[in-house]
Structure 1
């Protein structure tokens, strides 16, 4: 893979300015390959727009909260990268994160989607990490993130918290399904569709990132978190006739 390839990093956000600032700072600090950042704001009222303008970020301002899948689609529509990456605003990336994942993505023609391991995720991407401070977590990640294809693991699903895929996959599979708004299971749905088109999915076990853990969703849906998850799980079952939990 040529290192001149550009990665478009799309970050949906909703009233999560402190998280977004930390996420952006981590990208700028730890990304050594070409990238662009596109922030898609779901109707925030916390100064997100002013911050993005001040920082010179590519910015899409939606008037209301249209949900995570819709925000992803808006960002992807203007992305110019050879590869595309959806990133939750509550993720802090780490040294070598993107270069390691790109090696996995371009390791074979039929690899379509790659994701890292992390301290907080559903399924096989969660790993045990013991730390007390963010600085300590970063030190652990720095030691962990040594490129090692032996740690790559083929998977049935990649969690959308850090979701890297080839542009050709986007052109074939199409947009994220907005019936899953405000969010949950749109990533399972996309992975299922990608696999139907013959793409393989890889967990980049040599890439550890920090995930605060669905912080924006939890704040936006304090009373109906479990109901939302179960409702969207049922939408997946109704669409495909299978339970996405079989992939966990």
Structure 2
């Protein structure tokens, strides 16, 4: 059990940090899909609560999801300011000071953690228009640079106080069509720095100008095995229903013989409807999609992954939503598709068997007929784009790597031009997706997410509001209820898991929040009530991602058997102490109930409860 220092109550930030910790756990209890930002925010709260060891543990978990986030490195270095740096701190400091995108404000935190005995050090990062040379040295060391010119410049980072490390950033301009060579000298040692020329400009991809089609389907692929075979089978069945639809397969460097055979068979089964394009060497998702777009003619386009199951009737229902001229993109529900996942935003489940996918699609058409729900952006696993929208914002941006967030970027550019994005709640498309999250993929996704947020700074807040409101919930729940108990999906494993569960007891400070666990589902009225200090949460929210919060009392909420009131109970004595009717809910009633709870809470102060945390 971790208990903070005795002076906590004198720190005005402690109540806010405790409140933030409670809210983070409550939010995670609803999503069960922690992102790196969750662990970072919890680490910050734990830092204010004096729990440095727990904060460092959360930083390690955050870095397992996003190993390149400079904010995580900076916080670790900052936590080392009051103690001798450890080996792990020094590693984090070296990564931070040489980080290609970290700001000067963040990199300053690295300097006190660096070891002067390891100096000098030189690192380079190639950027689109320059080469950045990072020189770590002692303050007394002189540097020389031969071959520089007026377009190059130098910046100095110097640590405050008695730190013994300087960082010099040399920004060397790249020339069009001309390589450069410089000689860097540090403490009498010379090093040659090669600066490559700017690459020749490449023509931007353009949309094709072929014959019109009722619908174009662009499917990039790279081998794919049984998942590809199933996807092609389901798409071919839909093509038979819609002879004016066209499928463009973009083979992005597949090398398995069975893939070539499947693609040849696909073309033979739908002559005149299927076109095959091929990159001999894989060029990535973005380039493959843009190649497919270069072959289309007039008509809407469906970007479709090669590991989906497309149920019968889906194309017609998807396309019907484009009858509204304001709609730019349409995305169906799925088992595994970010915001459109049946278990909730970001909560992925394994794809059910094709027969169950067909039943889910039929249930969607029956229970959510014609229902379109506005969303911040679509999802590229099955993204239908209107012709007008596509002509305005295509092609996919090439600033991202390997197929993550290009679809979001396209949608956000379309939003700026006035188009809407909707979820087609009357459609379901199965998606195999990624079953596991390796470290390389997590780093790639995090890197692309950072680029997206740099280009669209407001998107993170917009998406957070969307997930909090969860407007797709009712439509999703109707589908899940329709197939229960034949199909009960389970969340796929979280990418970051803590080893074991550590425990923290909330500090007892004047005016601090009082955590009040509910043993039964929390009524909506309590979720939205404005209490001064009470923080009602589901009991399951006490434990989240390897950390258990001990409220340090035995008070709980539970719903009355008749469902008309919420009861305050003491699990130690099993006594009912107060009741809050669930009828008309007034501010006066909530204040009176809170006063009763705080009175009983005050009577338990100082008592250590072994049964306070239950899961």
TM-score range (shorter-chain normalised) is: 0.7 to 0.9
Whether 1:113 aligns to 2:304 is no
Matched pairs, number: 238
Conserved? CA contact 2:218–2:289, under 8 Å: yes
Conserved? CA contact 2:350–2:432, under 8 Å: no
| Partner residue in 2 for 1:127 | 342
When residues 81 and 225 of structure 1 are mapped into structure 2, their CA distance, relative to the original with a 3 A threshold, is same
- State the distance in 1 between where 2:254 and 2:319 align: 32
Whether 1:162 aligns to 2:382 is yes
From 354, 369, 372, the counterpart of 1:152: 372
1:33-52 → structure 2 map (5 Å cutoff): 33=242, 34-47=244-257, 48-52=259-263
Whether 1:80 aligns to 2:297 is yes
- State the distance in 2 between where 1:61 and 1:183 align: 18
| Partner residue in 2 for 1:206 | 426
- State the distance in 2 between where 1:5 and 1:58 align: 13
| Partner residue in 2 for 1:185 | 405
- Offset of 1:40 from its aligned partner? 0.7
| Partner residue in 2 for 1:227 | 443
When residues 103 and 241 of structure 1 are mapped into structure 2, their CA distance, relative to the original with a 3 A threshold, is same
| Partner residue in 2 for 1:25 | 233
* RMSD across aligned positions (CA): 2.4
| Partner residue in 2 for 1:64 | 281
- State the distance in 2 between where 1:182 and 1:200 align: 26
Conserved? CA contact 1:118–1:211, under 8 Å: yes
- Structure 1: 5+ residue stretches without partners: none
Task: Please report the TM-score for the alignment, with normalisation by the length of structure 2.
Answer: 0.37
| Partner residue in 1 for 2:129 | none
Higher relative contact order at CA 8 Å, sep ≥6: structure 1 or structure 2? 1
- SS of residue in 2 equivalent to 1:145: helix
Task: Please report the TM-score for the alignment, with normalisation by the length of structure 1.
Answer: 0.87
When residues 24 and 245 of structure 1 are mapped into structure 2, their CA distance, relative to the original with a 3 A threshold, is farther
Q: Is the radius of gyration larger for structure 1 or structure 2?
A: 2
- SS of residue in 1 equivalent to 2:278: strand
When residues 81 and 27 of structure 1 are mapped into structure 2, their CA distance, relative to the original with a 3 A threshold, is farther
Conserved? CA contact 2:309–2:357, under 8 Å: no
- Structure 2: 5+ residue stretches without partners: 1-211, 268-273, 344-348, 468-615
- Offset of 1:213 from its aligned partner? 1.3
Per-residue deviation, residues 82-112 of structure 1 (Å, max 9, x unmatched):
1111000111111211111111111x21111
- SS of residue in 1 equivalent to 2:218: strand
